[in-house]
Structures are given as structure tokens and as C-alpha cells.
A and B are shown apart, each in its own frame.
Chain A
Amino acid sequence: MPKKFKVNLNPKWCKSCGICVEFCPKRVFEFSKDGKVRVVREGDCIGCKNCELRCPDYAVEVWEEEA
């Protein structure tokens, strides 16, 4: 079974800078029509934490889901 990850984006802190959108190798994040960044493909996350490490606003957290 491949590992499953939870990707949590805190909309109160996110400023939709787009860094996570660009740095995610699996395109888990997307700009939605209102210009806000949202998690759209959580199931594809490989847990690399590029997003969490580089988010300047501490708005993303990624953790492994218990099987």
C-alpha cells in the first residue's frame, strides 16, 4: 500500500502567493477562480513537504495518515 498523506491548508493564514502551487511536484494545489489557493489533489501527495517548508505563512501542514 502506498503511503497516504493529509494536506491541510489554513485559509486564515494563506495569502495565495502561489509558492506551494509551483513547488508541488504532484500539482496538489491550484488557484481557484476567486484567486485563492486550494488543495485539489490531496490523494496524489507524496509527502515531500516542499509546500510546508517553503510556505512563508505557515499555512500548509502535511502529515502521514495512519493506515
Chain B
Amino acid sequence: MVNIKNYLRLNKLPHIWCPGCGNGTVVRALITAIDKLGFKKDEIVVFTGIGCSARTNAILDFNTIQTTHGRTLAFATGFKLMRPEMKVIVITGDGDGAAIGGNHLIHAARRNVDITTILINNSIYGMTGGQYSPLSPQGAYATTAPYGNIEPPFDICELVKAAGATFVGRGTVYHIHLTIDLITKALSHKGFSFVEVISQCPVGYGRRNNMRSPYEMLLWQKEHAIMVKQADKYSKEDLKDKFLIGELWVNHERTEFMDSYNALVKRLSEGMKGGEV
């Protein structure tokens, strides 16, 4: 098993997350995948935005850049263009990534830029005080939904797939081995890869939604997740309050953004040699 301390900033531990918060386990999954693939620490750059998910790069011992709320993918895309040899990873949350950063997310997917995005979905804005997000389940309680959330959530994986992402998977903190596997595949994929990890926020979400302990929240993940390969064994009715996990979408047909960009540069420089653009 990987010694994850080799990849952590030990002087930043214990981290600031609440007891039982899933974020720490997602960090472990990411480190395990990176270790498995044999990347050097300096080959990796991790971008985050704002929110509890953004604190991942306080403890990750890679090149790390914290950006503005929701705009992470714009910064990361610019960086990738400048330093295409680097492995660019974005860690975001359901508020940061699907609400404020929703537009950047769909356009990064549309461009199929070679970035791995991990969206930690804890169903709530944790850091800012428990407001509902576009991924909070309908009926869930939040500080801004004291009588229950009336809005239906996005299926963010379907959204990103429809926008053009070429690898899409969903794991949970409970299904840690699956999540490690999905992140490993996402990091090995060329193009825009996206992994949603359903995580637990015992303090901002669990307390308000009848799940008192982190353990209960992990059991909720276990009981509500269906492996995508098994999905056809269930009726529509059975699947109503469930979510699919596993590798949801892979497409090797679409051209990656940097390849299109480099082809353009080549075409233009050849044109210039010939005396015309």
C-alpha cells in the first residue's frame, strides 16, 4: 500500500476539515492513483477554487494553485496551454464546480481539454454555512431550504458527458477501491476526464438530514449506489432514489483540445514559411 505521507504536507496536518469529513478520503484516493501511475510529484499541478474541496491543495504536496470561486477550470486550461507536459488536475465541489463554475465546467468538457477534474459532491455548501447547491437532492434540508429543497438536482455526470467530456465516472467515499480505480483511469485518459465522488459532509449536511454520524452517511452511500453494469437488473421505480456508480462514459473519437491547437499552429507556421498565412 502506498505511503501517503510521502505526498502530504505534514506540517499542515491535522487538516482543517471536520471530524468524519469525506474530503480526506478523496485525497487518499487521488494520491493512491497518482502513486500507482508513477508520476513524479513535480509533474503534477493541482488547481482548486473556493470551498471545503479547495482545502485539498493545502495538504497535497504537489504544485498547487488556489484560484477564485468557480473559475478553476479557466485557470487550469490556460496553464495546460502553456505547460502541456504537466498533468493538470482540478479539484472542485458541488457548489464551486456545478453552480458558480458550471459554465466553465461545460466549456472545458466541450473543448475536451486534457484535464482531470474531480468533483467532490457533498450535496451542500459546507464552508459557507450549509446552503443548498445544484446537486443537493430534492427534499434535502439546508440553511437556505429550511422546509426542504424544492429544486431537482443536476445529474452532473450526464451534463458533463453531454457537453463533450470523454471520460466520465462516479464513485463514492464508501466505494473507495472503485474511486481509486476511476481516478487512475481518468488520469490515464487523454482529453477531458471527470470523476464525481459522492462524499459525506456530516456537519453541514448530515446533521440537517437525519444522518447523525459519518458512519451513517457512508452507509447511505452504500445503500443508494448501483453499479452501472448492474443497472439493467433494476426497474425504473427501483432506481428512482438511487445513483449509478462506475465508469459511465468513455469516448476516444473526439480530438483533444491541445491536438487541435498544435495542428493549427503547425498549419499556420507552414503557411508562413511558404510566404503566406
Contact = CB atoms under 8 A, between A and B. Distances in A.
Given A52-B1, A58-B28, A19 B13 contact: no
Interface in B1-35: 1, 4-5, 8, 13-15, 17-25, 28
Contacts of A12: 14
Contacts of A6: none
Nearest to B176: A53
Nearest to B13: A13
B215 A57 contact: no
Contact of A18 (B8, B23, B215): B215
Given A22-B215, A49-B1, A58-B28, A17 B14 contact: no
B64 interface: no
A3 interface: no
A20 B230 CA distance: 29
B137 interface: no
Contacts of B215: 18-19, 22-23
Contacts, number: 53
Contact of B24 (A18, A22, A52, A58): A58
Interface residues of A, number: 17
B213 interface: yes
A15 interface: yes
B46 interface: no
A56 B173 CA distance: 10
A56 B215 CA distance: 12
Interface in A19-67: 19, 22-23, 49, 52-58
A65 to B, nearest CB: 16
Contact of B5 (A19, A23, A58): A58
A19 B14 contact: no
A37 B4 CA distance: 22
Interface string B175-201: 010000000000000000000000000
Interface of B: 1, 4-5, 8, 13-15, 17-25, 28, 173, 176, 202, 213-215, 218
- Ordered nearest first, which 3 A-B pairs have the shortest CB separation? A56-B24, A17-B20, A15-B19
Given A17-B20, A18-B214, A49-B1, 15 more contacts: A15-B19, A17-B214, A18-B215, A23-B215, A53-B28, A54-B176, A56-B17, A56-B20, A56-B24, A56-B214, A57-B14, A57-B15, A57-B24, A58-B4, A58-B5
